[in-house]
Chains A and B, each alone.
Chain A
Amino acid sequence: MMADLKLTQKLWSGGLIVLFFAGWEAFCLISGMSDLILPRPSQVIETLIARFPVLWPHILQTLSTTMVGFALGVALGVFLGAMIGVSRVAYDTVYPLLIGFSSIPKVAVVPIFVLWFGSGTVPAVLTSLAICFFPIVVNIATGLATTEPELEDVLKALGASKMDILWNVGLPRTMPFFFASLKVAITYAFVGTVLAETVASNRGIGNVMMSASSNFDVPLVFAGLFILAALGVALYVAFSLIEARVTGWATRKNDLVAA
């Protein structure tokens, strides 16, 4: 009964997504829209297939740049989040600085990175790092702040150090928050990479889209968008799967009891 319901739901949402693209296709055909303005999805996919050998190295470039920037962003975010969550002094000094930094539009930072490191991969990695670490910091800090005071008392009375409490209670408790922030951060990381590639690089999907649009090769621009969307969705799904395994205790109950 339940399984039927779930399956029906999935079929419905799948059908609606297909309908969305079909509607787009139909709209372009009926209105006689020029493919210089809005190409049809079928054209985009055609372009994607035809140009795939050329696009492939750029896909790899964007993906690897994003993954490196994201990994560094996670490391930095966890470190800062743990510091802010544990130490009052760090909270008072680091938090205002971070909020200031995250309020700066990252487009404004790319030229500085280029100035320091030249154009290419390094500024793209840094931009993606800079844009994705903030939600991780906030979520880790919040997770640490929600530790029950009674449990902390129990452990302190045992002579536990701050590190003991952080390691055994604080960090495991932040896991659900951490994964929630990872899913946000990975999509941000793509934004950062593409941003920097558009401004200052001769490789990557961002650059492909930039040069395609200056050639009025609009289907190729849209092919770039489709690739980015697909990469984003794929990584989002990957983290959701890991999340379900690691933090099953937070979503718990009926599913697990039955298992």
Chain B
Amino acid sequence: MPRPALAVELSQASVTFGRGANSVPALAATTLRIPDGEFVALVGPSGCGKSTILRLVSGLVQPSAGVVIVGGREVAAKALRIGMAFQNPTMLPWLTIEKNVMLPLKIVQPFRAAYRQKKRSEFRDKAHALLAQVGLKGFASRYPWQLSGGMLQRANLCRALIHEPRMLLLDEPFGALDQFTREELWSILQDLWLSYRPTVLLVTHDLREAAFLASRICVMSARPGRIIDDAPVAFQRPRNIAMTFEPDFVALNQRLRELIVDARGAAQAEVSA
């Protein structure tokens, strides 16, 4: 079966929370098409609806109007296997890292059916291989509280990828980490993306992060958000941290920054008017 060319298709999709006089528009009518295997970053002022787009794609929120199609079908049908990771790594404290990483296999078919037979062999090896890839070799049987924040976030990435999702949704996954750990994890995430090639939708506040990782960046306006800029990022892969100090990269950052400052300014002018 050939893969659908578009992984995600939002057509005039909008989201409003609440009803009547108390309703809050979270996302203005948005149209966004993401081809399969692309790495898209969403940036914008806080509260602009970036996370809402993520929740739309994951099926956790239904659009108030418009259509959301993921993997060729409306989201409710769950046509695509989805992996998610948030800023808070939410590892279960009573399970070892290995068992935490294997959690999706316990839930998602076709792994679920074979979980009992393969949890000590094939699935365990799979978890160990992923953990080794993010530099957590030898930490599989540790408990979450024995690991640092950066290590937990690596394990979190493994958990998001263990069930071979076609779609990876990341909501500020590195937001709580220090600069150096964050940069290290960018490279790890890039490597993971290059080896598995899922479609990635990354929500972030960090413009350098967006420019380093994404193959395309969408800038959103202030609430209710809509996409005001959508441009590809042409830098060659694999990218490295040294690249982030080159003039082209800095220029891209500056352009993004100005767009967001303008969006915030426009929103504030509206409030005071």
Contacts and interface: CB of A to CB of B under 8 A. Distances in A.
A154 B86 contact: yes
Contacts of A156: 58-60
Contacts of A252: 93, 143, 145
**B-side binding surface: helix, strand, loop or mixed?**
mixed
Nearest to A159: B78
A123 B272 CA distance: 71
Interface string A168-182: 110011010000000
Nearest to A155: B107
A249 B78 CA distance: 35
B206 to A, nearest CB: 19
Nearest to A247: B94
Contact of A150 (B90, B163, B169): B90
Contacts of B81: 158
A247 B143 CA distance: 13
Nearest to B78: A159
Given A151-B90, A250-B93, A158 B59 contact: no
A253 interface: yes
A169 B108 CA distance: 15
Interface residues of A, number: 24
Contact of A158 (B92, B94, B143, B163): B163
Given A157-B58, A157-B59, A249-B143, A168 B94 contact: no
Contacts of B107: 155, 158-160, 164, 168
B263 interface: no
Contacts of B88: 148, 150
Interface residues of B, number: 28
26 contacts: A148-B90, A150-B88, A153-B55, A153-B58, A154-B85, A154-B86, A154-B90, A155-B107, A157-B60, A157-B84, A158-B81, A158-B82, A158-B104, A158-B107, A159-B108, A160-B107, A164-B106, A168-B92, A168-B103, A168-B107, A169-B92, A172-B92, A172-B94, A247-B94, A249-B94, A249-B143
Given A148-B90, A154-B160, A168-B107, 15 more contacts: A153-B58, A154-B90, A155-B103, A155-B107, A156-B60, A157-B84, A157-B169, A158-B82, A158-B163, A160-B107, A164-B107, A168-B92, A173-B92, A249-B93, A252-B143
Interface of B: 55, 58-60, 78, 81-86, 88, 90, 92-94, 103-104, 106-108, 143, 145-146, 159-160, 163, 169
